[in-house]
Amino acid sequence: MPKVAILSDIHANLEALNTVLEKCREIDPGMEFVCLGDIVGYNANPHECLEIVRNLDCKGLVKGNHDEYVSSESGVEGFNANAKRAIEWTKGQLTEDELTFLGKLPAFKSLFSGYNAVLVHATLDSPLQWGYILDLHHAISCFESKPKAMVSFCGHSHVPIAFCKNAYSSSEATAYETIVEWIPTVGEGSFEREESCSIKLRSECRYLFNVGSIGQPRNRDPRASFAVYDTDHKIVTRYLLPYDYTVTQARILEAGLPERLAVRLALGM
Which domain, by its residues, includes 205?
A: 4-267
> pLDDT-based confidence at 65, cuts 50/70/90?
very high
Q: Is 224 exposed, middle or buried (0-12, 13-18, 19+ CB in 10 A)?
A: buried
Averaged pLDDT score across all residues of the chain: 92
Residue 170: the pLDDT is: 56
Residue 115: the pLDDT is: 81
Lowest mean per-residue pLDDT among 106-110, 161-165, 169-173, 228-232: 169-173
Strand segments, DSSP code E, in the chain are 4-7, 32-35, 60-61, 109-112, 117-120, 151-154, 161-166, 176-178, 195-200, 205-210, 224-230, 235-241
Q: Is 102 helix (H, G, I), strand (E, B) or coil?
A: helix
Q: What tens digit of pLDDT does each residue of 189-246 get?
A: 678 899 999 999 999 999 999 999 999 999 999 999 999 999 999 999 999 999 999 9
Q: What tens digit of pLDDT does each residue of 253-265 get?
A: 999 999 999 999 9
Residue 169: the pLDDT is: 62
Around Cβ 103, how many Cβ atoms within 10 Å? Answer: 14
Q: What's the structural domain count of the chain?
A: 1
Residue 192: the pLDDT is: 84
Percent of the chain at pLDDT > 70 equals 95
Q: What is the mean pLDDT of residues 165-173?
A: 69
Residue 187: the pLDDT is: 66
Residue 143: the pLDDT is: 87
Q: What is the CATH number of the domain that holds 136?
A: 3.60.21.10
> pLDDT-based confidence at 173, cuts 50/70/90?
low
Q: Is 128 helix (H, G, I), strand (E, B) or coil?
A: helix
With 80 as the cut, is the pLDDT of residue 168 above it? no
Q: Which of 12, 18, 86, 73 lies closest to 45 in space, CA to CA? A: 12
| 38, 196, 203, 219, 240 from 102: Cα distances, Å | 10, 31, 35, 27, 27
Please report, for the chain, how many H helices and E strands are present, in that order: 8, 12
Residue 93: the pLDDT is: 96
Q: State the maximum Cα–Cα separation within the chain, in Å, rounded to a whole number.
A: 58
Q: Is the pTM of this model over 0.85?
A: yes
Length of the chain: 269
Q: What is the dihedral sign for C-alpha 35, 33, 227, 189?
A: negative
Beta strands 235-241 and 224-230, pairing class: antiparallel
